[in-house]
Structure 1
Amino acid sequence: MKMLVDFFPIAIFFLVYHLTKDIVTATAVLIPATVLQVLYTWWRHRKVEKMHLVTLALVVVLGGATVLFGNGDFIKWKPTIVNWLFAVAFLFSPLFGGKALTQRMMEKSITLPSAVWMRLNLAWVAFFAAMGALNIYVFTHYSEETWVNFKLFGMMGLTILFILVQGVFLARHMPRDGQNGPSTTKKDEL
């Protein structure tokens, strides 16, 4: 259900864009859809993730500028800004609390040496930085329709691919039959 709620605003944006071929209209619908997403999450869980609040703020500001000025370039920057904010958060997370953000998110499910958590965290930093840059490349070199399709299918596909690669990386550190802890060597811990 959470994935459906998270996916709701982008699906609405995509649908309206393909029905109207107008990014301003699609953005005008995206803004209330994102507000509804956050309100529903608050109503259902009595809390809202910081990611949803950041996304809402960017949708309201950049989407508002898109609608106000009739210029789709504003909303096209949102994925880059979100991805780069995530890259910065992952990069600096060890300075606040001494743990990588990946470790804070996943340590209840998997035990890894600190060095492996840091490598995993840096991989996410690189991924988010690259996704932000790739978004700029797509919206500056391709048509608006191509960017809308990339925003939904390309970014989602690349994220799923990255998570699968991450899963292969993590599998190397999972306990094997007959072992109590993660499968690591001294080399992994460095």
Structure 2
Amino acid sequence: MKQFIDFIPLILFFIVYKMAPAEVQFAGHTFEPIYTATAMLIASSIVVYGALLVIQRRLDKAQWLTFGACLVFGGLTLALHQDAILKWKAPVVNWLFALAFAGSHFVGDRPLIQRIMGHAVHLTDSLWAKLNIAWVVFFLICGFAQLYVAFTFPSIWVDFKLFGSLGMTLLFLIGQGVFLARHMHDEPTGEKPKD
């Protein structure tokens, strides 16, 4: 459910972009669909993450990062009237996630994926490291794919932002599920799983 909630602003961005007229006149300014959709992205992010903050009394670090990036990149896009700024949001956020996962190999006692999933899954240290590296590679690929499509195929960028992101995430999660299913019943050989 949490992952779906995080996609609500992106889904609303997509809907507004697709349904908005070619231009909207407001307060003496002309707004193209990308700017109307960006305003919706910012507003819906404030509502969604604000509601989560009130209900849960906290946001996790990934939600803070996503929310902050939305406000910064979306706000700059609207203020400077440059849609290229918004196109950098997804790659930068993905690369920051990749950096966090990669950095967890050197900072702390466990890889980040083990800190996230360790309460539910028991693996050996080497399998946790492999899974964590897979997340690093996933986020790097997602960032480069978003950047490539945004600046090479701008006409399909918004479609790819929603369906490409969801598709890549779904495929990766299926792959992760297969990986975990293969190894969850293995008996560790000399290496104890860490909690």
Give TM-score scaled by structure 1 length: 0.89
Q: Secondary structure in 2 aligned to 1:97? A: coil
In proportion to residue count, which structure has more helix?
Answer: 1
Distance in 2, matches of 1:186 and 1:139, equals 47
- Which letter maps to 1:170? L
Question: Equivalent residue for 1:105?
Answer: 116
Residue 183 (structure 1) shift? 3.8
Distance in 2, matches of 1:63 and 1:119, equals 35
Does structure 1 residue 33 correspond to structure 2 residue 51?
A: no
Stretches of structure 1 lacking an aligned partner (at least 5 in a row)? 176-181
Q: CA RMSD in A?
A: 1.8
Question: Equivalent residue for 1:151?
Answer: 161
Distance in 1, matches of 2:3 and 2:97, equals 19
- Which letter maps to 1:166? Q
**Aligned counterparts, 1:131-170, within 5 A:** 131-144=142-155, 146-170=156-180
Question: Equivalent residue for 2:5?
Answer: 5
Moved over 4 A (4+): 184-187
Distance in 2, matches of 1:147 and 1:186, equals 48
Stretches of structure 2 lacking an aligned partner (at least 5 in a row)? 23-32
Distance in 2, matches of 1:50 and 1:98, equals 18
Question: Equivalent residue for 1:129?
Answer: 140
Residue 29 (structure 1) shift? 1.4
- Which letter maps to 1:6? D
Distance in 2, matches of 1:143 and 1:39, equals 31
Distance in 1, matches of 2:147 and 2:42, equals 21
Residue 184 (structure 1) shift? 4.5
Question: Equivalent residue for 1:86?
Answer: 97
Residue 96 (structure 1) shift? 2.3
Contact 1:23/1:72, CA 8 A, preserved across alignment: yes
Question: Equivalent residue for 2:127?
Answer: 116
Residue 185 (structure 1) shift? 5.1
Give TM-score scaled by structure 2 length: 0.87
Contact 1:172/1:183, CA 8 A, preserved across alignment: no
Contact 1:173/1:184, CA 8 A, preserved across alignment: no
Distance in 2, matches of 1:13 and 1:115, equals 40
1:120-168 deviation digits (Å, cap 9, x = unpaired): 1001101101110111110111024x11110111111111101111111
- Which letter maps to 2:154? S
Q: Secondary structure in 2 aligned to 1:98? A: coil
